[in-house]
Structure 1
Amino acid sequence: MTRRPAPQLPGSVWSSAVRPAAVRRTAPRRVLTLLALPLAAALALSGCAPEPGSADGSGTPAGVDGGTAPESVQPPVEGETKPEIGPEPTKTAELPASFPTDLVPLAADAVIDDAGERGAGLWFAVLRYPDAAAANAALDALIEAGGFAVLSDESGLPGERTAQLETAQVQVSALIAPSEESESSGAESPGAEGAVLLSLDITALT
């Protein structure tokens, strides 16, 4: 025969002994749960907060661009060769053999600064004089000696003069101007100090 357990009546000694133990085991768990909630909330907030010194949590200080830093300018390499500048054109102090001296008679004492032939029937000559008065006198003498018709004769800037001359055989463009040395001297009257140049561009008409 199976023995049935004796029924526990309310208020019995066994039931009153069990209940206090269950209550004692449940109370500490509730206390721990209540204490853990504020700690979990604090940890969650600390994980979302930005890093110190940054505005958005990226680690970059506020007001500083987080983009790529500009490339630094590289200093010139020691020993690097620079492009060479070609030499200045050399001057020729002699008239070319084809120069039409019979049509453009130059004074025997004229000092030639440069001269040459640009092409067939094209010549140039640059004559050097001590001052503007000497250069103007030489141009007037050339006009008379060559029998030129004066198409134009004008004065420009101080110390400058331009003239267009022509005969049946040639046409001459003349320019009187202070040399670079005279302009750099700072003289009040250009040509008073340094050289003055008389430039002639000659074109054969026949």
Structure 2
Amino acid sequence: MDEIKQRWKYVFSFISNSGLLLAGITALVYIIPYAYEKGHKHYYGIHEEFIELNLPQIFSTNISVFFVEIAFVLILVISTLIVWSIVLIVNRYILEKFFSKKLIEKGDFKGFWRAFFSIGLIVAIISSYHFALNLGKTEAQIQQEYWTVKEDGTNFVIVDAYREYFIIMPLKEGKIIQEYKFVKPETLQSNIILSYFRSGLEIKLNTIKQ
């Protein structure tokens, strides 16, 4: 029993003091908003080089993304503790008691724990990246409200922003044409209308006739 307590003490100490956990949380803070923005821009065909992250955007991009970050960290920690509880019970009360063998030798415990935690952290980061990427695409696909503007007789929708510019795309026959340009907000202030599209807006590839 003392050996199990000692191992659990090490586990909690490792979680609270490990640079891996801090590095993982830091990675999630930046990777998830980046993936969300990448998915959002990908839906409109906007290149990822126009992704711009800053501190206010990281913490306010989307409330769903914030909860994803927290959820993946909690899932990682909780699942790790559950698995290790099973490992310790099997090691102590089954293998050692009935077969005089150990799943994990005492000297291998720390290294095995570090490897397990590191793999779990990598899985959490990769999973959260793909989740946020798909979330960005989905929310762009179902978006119903757009700021629209008319310029040179053509209707445009404002789909995003980059630095001091709005990113606008042509709107024809209820579909967004997959081409975009950058305009300064002050040139549109007297010409912007908030429009509602019940079924969202589909993207239409801009085909060039030969």
Q: Which has the higher strand share?
A: 1
TM-score by length of 1: 0.18
Larger relative contact order (Cα-Cα within 8 Å, sequence gap ≥ 6): 2
Q: Greater Rg, structure 1 or structure 2?
A: 1
